[in-house]
Amino acid sequence: MIKHSATLAVNEKIAARRAAGQTVVHLGFGEAGLPVLPAVADVLRAAADQNAYGPVLGSASARQAAAGYFDRRDLPTDAGQIIFAPGSKALLYGVLAALPGDLVLPTPSWVTYAAQAALTGKRTIPVPIPADAGGVPDPAQLEAALHTARANGADPKILVLTLPDNPTGTAAGADLVKQVTELAAREDLVILSDEIYRELTHHPEDHVSPAALLPERTVVTSGLSKSMALGGWRIGFARIPDGPLGTTLTDHLIGIASEVWSSLAMPMQAAAEYVLSEPAEVTDRITRSRHLHAAVAHAVHDIFRSAGATCRTPNAAFYLYPDLEPLRPQLESAGITTAEQLSTHLLDQHGVAVLAGSHFGDDPSAYRFRVATSLLYGSTDDQRIQALAADDPAGLPWIAAQLDQLRQGLHQLT
Amino acid sequence: MIKHSATLAVNEKIAARRAAGQTVVHLGFGEAGLPVLPAVADVLRAAADQNAYGPVLGSASARQAAAGYFDRRDLPTDAGQIIFAPGSKALLYGVLAALPGDLVLPTPSWVTYAAQAALTGKRTIPVPIPADAGGVPDPAQLEAALHTARANGADPKILVLTLPDNPTGTAAGADLVKQVTELAAREDLVILSDEIYRELTHHPEDHVSPAALLPERTVVTSGLSKSMALGGWRIGFARIPDGPLGTTLTDHLIGIASEVWSSLAMPMQAAAEYVLSEPAEVTDRITRSRHLHAAVAHAVHDIFRSAGATCRTPNAAFYLYPDLEPLRPQLESAGITTAEQLSTHLLDQHGVAVLAGSHFGDDPSAYRFRVATSLLYGSTDDQRIQALAADDPAGLPWIAAQLDQLRQGLHQLT
């Protein structure tokens, strides 16, 4: 059975605790934590009369806008290569349902890939991430893992990359992406490149998409949930490669989309078209969001490092993936031997909610967990808008207070 | 490969012909053909600031509203039994992916069920519909078909009923529903009752849901695409049975929903909550829609009967399923031997677009096809609103003109 997505489940659990009056530092859920940009809300309102069934892949104008988005990022794209859906999850599912073969996953990785592999009857071949960054498999281990998998009867054909990465909050550098892409080409893998956090890379000019390196065999998925904080609107899109593989895949995706979700709701397509045409209001908002996410993630990173954790330095999105291995003696003497026990302890004893690494496919006995820093910006839209405008958001009193609670909680572990 | 849904494909084809300046009597697509009710558009606009990821199954208030909708129809329902999704298609898919066993389908039936069965790795066991109505298998043939299927290694466990029915535009009567439900109970089948057209039964008080007869083993799916003409908003909901089967199914559905589409977009949940609370504006609109759909479907039925077709008398939704078997000599002498050839001939020679019965699983050599009458109401919202208000909508000049083109096209066949 496919279980309730762990990331969504923890969010619902915390909402219940807060409703019961408890103070929780919510680091458990990857929601962008910001209000709707008013100009985007206006576009949705103006589209409220659009009730006709739309084309399965998206309206011509929305697809054109998405093609423009990729064009401006040095990925020349025809509107015919674009597909919209109610969330990028639906597109990831569709691609996995359409493509043959098993799935190679960097580990840890976002909870949904492995669950979708199970749903579509695929095996999962996990490969650890390197020390530099998450979202890609360690190149030195990838080749060996493929050979072992094939020897065991698996048929690895699809490689998921998360660029930038959830859960580690890191963007693999150009060299690493190049190495992994070349290896994928040699091994005849299709790359499924989840780039939903692309706009939130701290230095966006550093982003390298495998679609630029292996254009005929890379599918890029994205959406507006992260960059525009529109998770509740469910707007996803994908760029299908040009060429024979892309043509066949598109035919499959039309079938799956038309029989599972029909199309993205038309008012949402209007909103997507506006955002992806990238007017100044949108790019300004994304620039401010990027600054806020980076500032708070770095502040939280400092706290974890001060508490004795090791942790990759964040350079994208709004996540950290700390490892409390250096605290093993203290944790074991407190009876904590798994990431799940550690996360339960942090929530019950210190009001700090994180998501155990085991949910991301990591070793359950490692003291690793995902920290999402994007729900610290405030409990009202007014606070969140102040956080967006602040040069030093971590110094705002309501954010500083949560960082203090976190600092104290971690201190008490040691 | 799962092909592009035939109903959506014909719609896109006709849009292209019209864009090229051709006059097409569009009877090919089951869209309700009416504008958004202004009060509903206002609710969507007011919800444009709702961007948080919602609960997977739907917000508490939307689920409560849907429970109330069923309560008012003598199906006592707890909000915990409700799940929302981006369209009822997604829920039908989810239920098929969650439940074990193969699928029993009345034939002809809506194109999506068989495609979803293929997508979820299920066999399809077709059973012809009776002479009285579509949407249910012929009770006399159902039992035999189950035994044959089992003898052939299939494992029939789920029975789809479409109440009222697409493609026939008929609602099975109470006796027929009772007979089929009793048979399903004896044969240990779960009933998946697609009731998306329920509000458009010409005499809604006659509707009988199998959920009232076999409460612990009936899943009801519905949505706002038909009754409220909101196909482009993608709002679906389901009523899961109370009891052990329902509890297990809900756990599965939470998993599938959370990994494929996350949740229905929150602004759409707000719209659903409003509609399902059934304020007077909504019930008035549905009453007017029902009258319009019935009047035009009956007018088109008369035309087919006059042309020599046999056809069930419509009593729900906005469909007819004529059979031109009485015209076989003329059609064969014109070289037309299949439903697909007939529908191509009607479109190319007479500008009449219908969907061949073969798309609904019917015998390809039968001269049967689905006629959707809901896109005749006008080409502007102004015309459609006049049609809604008219006592005799078939007499409005723009509707009468299309009926004339249809009458002449059919006349030329004979």
Q: A238 to chain B, minimum CA–CA distance in Å?
A: 15
Which of B4, B230, B234 lies nearest to residue A261, judging by beta carbons?
B234
Sign of CA dihedral A176, A178, A183, A188: positive
Our CA-based measurement puts residue A272 at a distance from the nearest CA of chain B, in whole angstroms, of 14
The C-alpha atoms of residue B395 and residue B400 are separated, in whole angstroms, by: 6
Taking the mean position of all CA atoms in its chain, how far away is CA A45?
A: 28
Q: Does A252 touch chain B (CB under 8 A)?
A: yes
Among all chains, which residue has been given the structure tokens 């292209």? B16
* Residues of chain B contacting residue A259, judged by C-beta atoms under 8 Å apart: 2, 5, 89, 93, 112, 115-116, 119
Q: Which residues of A touch B256 (CB under 8 A)?
A: 2, 119
Mutate to test the interface with B, among A8, A29, A50, A53 (most CBs of B within 10 A): A53
Cα separation, A338 vs B96, in Å, equals: 36
- To the nearest whole percent, how much of chain A has pLDDT over 90? 92
Bridge pairing between strands B190-194 and B156-162: parallel
The three-class DSSP label of residue B259 is helix
pLDDT at position B81, please? Answer: 98
Q: Please tell me if residue A80 touches chain B, with a CB cutoff of 8 Å.
A: no
| Interface probe with B: pick from A234, A263, A266, A359, most Cβ of B within 10 Å | A234
- Window 376-395 of B, Cβ < 8 Å to A: 381
- What is the full per-residue pLDDT of chain B (414 aa) written as tens digits? 666 677 777 777 788 888 888 889 999 988 988 999 999 999 999 999 999 999 999 999 999 999 999 999 999 999 999 999 999 999 999 999 999 999 999 999 999 999 999 999 999 999 999 999 999 999 999 999 999 999 999 999 999 999 999 999 999 999 999 999 999 999 999 999 999 999 999 999 999 999 999 999 999 999 999 999 999 999 999 999 999 999 999 999 999 999 999 999 999 999 999 999 999 999 999 999 999 999 999 999 999 999 999 999 999 999 999 999 999 999 999 999 999 999 999 998 999 999 999 999 999 999 999 999 999 999 999 999 999 999 999 999 999 999 999 999 999 987
The average pLDDT across A197-217 equals 96
Category of B9 on φ-ψ map: left (φ > 0), alpha (ψ -120 to 50) or beta: alpha
Token pair belonging to A26? 């919510």
Residue A20, classed as helix, strand or coil, is: coil
10 Å Cβ neighbour count for B83?
28
Band the pLDDT of A249: cuts 50, 70, 90: very high
* Residue tagged 């893998």 (tokens): A189
Q: For chain A, what are the domain ranges? A: 6-30+281-413, 39-278
CA separation for the pair B308, A302 (Å, rounded): 82
C-alpha B190/C-alpha B107 separation (Å) is 18
Separation in Å, CA B51 to CA A399, B60, B241, B342: 21, 16, 30, 48
Mutate to test the interface with B, among A258, A285, A384 (most CBs of B within 10 A): A258
Interfacial B residues in 21-60 facing A (CB < 8 Å)? 29, 31, 35-36, 41-42, 44-45, 48-56
Say if A119 is an interface residue toward chain B (CB within 8 Å). Answer: yes
Over the stretch A120-144, which tens digit does the pLDDT of each residue have?
Answer: 999 999 999 999 999 999 999 999 9
Partner-chain contact A45 B49, CB within 8 Å: no
- Nearest alpha-carbon partner for B352 in B19, B12, B17, B6: B17
User: Smallest CA–CA separation between A200 and chain B, in Å?
Assistant: 18
Residues in a beta bridge with A239:
A82, A220
Two tokens, residue A206: 């550093």
Question: What value does the mean pLDDT take over residues A271-290?
Answer: 98
Rounded distance between C-alpha atoms, residue B194 and residue B207, angstroms:
13
pLDDT greater than 70 at residue A1? no
Distance CA A223, CA A85 (A): 9
Q: Which residue in chain A has the smallest CA separation from B256? A: A2
Edge-first strand order for the sheet with B319-320 is B319-320, B369-372, B355-356
One-letter identity of residue B373:
T
Q: Look at residue B79 in the predicted model and tell me its pLDDT.
A: 98
Q: What is the DSSP string of A250-303?
A: HHHHHHHHHHHT-S--HHHHHHHHHHHT--HHHHHHHHHHHHHHHHHHHHHHHH
User: CA of A28 to nearest chain B CA: how many angstroms apart?
Assistant: 13
A296 vs B3, which has greater pLDDT? A296
Rounded CA gap, B220 and B242, in Å?
A: 12
Residues of chain B neighbouring A2 (CB-CB closer than 8 A): 252, 255-256, 259
Can you tell me the distance from the alpha carbon of A7 to that of A355, in angstroms, rounded to the nearest whole number?
A: 7
8 Å CB contact between B43 and B271: yes
Angle (CA) A228-A234-A240 rounded to 5° is: 90
Does B252 contact A1 at a Cβ distance shorter than 8 Å? yes
Please name the CATH architecture into which domain A6-30+281-413 falls: Alpha-Beta Complex (3.90)
CATH match for B39-278 among 3.40.190.10, 3.30.450.40, 3.40.50.300, 3.40.640.10: 3.40.640.10
Cβ contact (<8 Å) for A56 and B5? yes
Q: Which residues pair with A105 in a beta bridge?
A: A126
Question: What's the order of all strands across the beta sheet hosting A218-223?
Answer: A82-85, A236-239, A218-223, A190-194, A156-162, A102-107, A124-128
Minimum Cα–Cα distance from B88: chain A residue: A261
Residues B183 and B161: beta-carbon distance below 8 Å? no
Task: List A residues 95-114 in contact with B (Cβ-Cβ < 8 A).
Answer: 97, 112
Instruction: Give A266's contacts in chain B (Cβ within 8 Å).
Output: 232-233
- Summarize pLDDT for A156-194 with one digit per residue, the tens: 999 999 999 999 999 999 999 999 999 999 999 999 999
Q: Is the pLDDT of residue A16 over 90?
A: no
Provide long-range contacts, Cβ within 8 A and 24+ apart, for A286-290.
A286/A199, A286/A200, A286/A227, A286/A228, A288/A388, A288/A389, A289/A32, A289/A34, A289/A200, A289/A227, A289/A229, A289/A388, A290/A199, A290/A200, A290/A201, A290/A202, A290/A204
3-state class (DSSP) for residue A78: coil
The closest alpha carbon to B342, from B333, B358, B351, B331, belongs to: B331
Report pLDDT digits (tens) over B197-224. 999 999 999 999 999 999 999 999 999 9
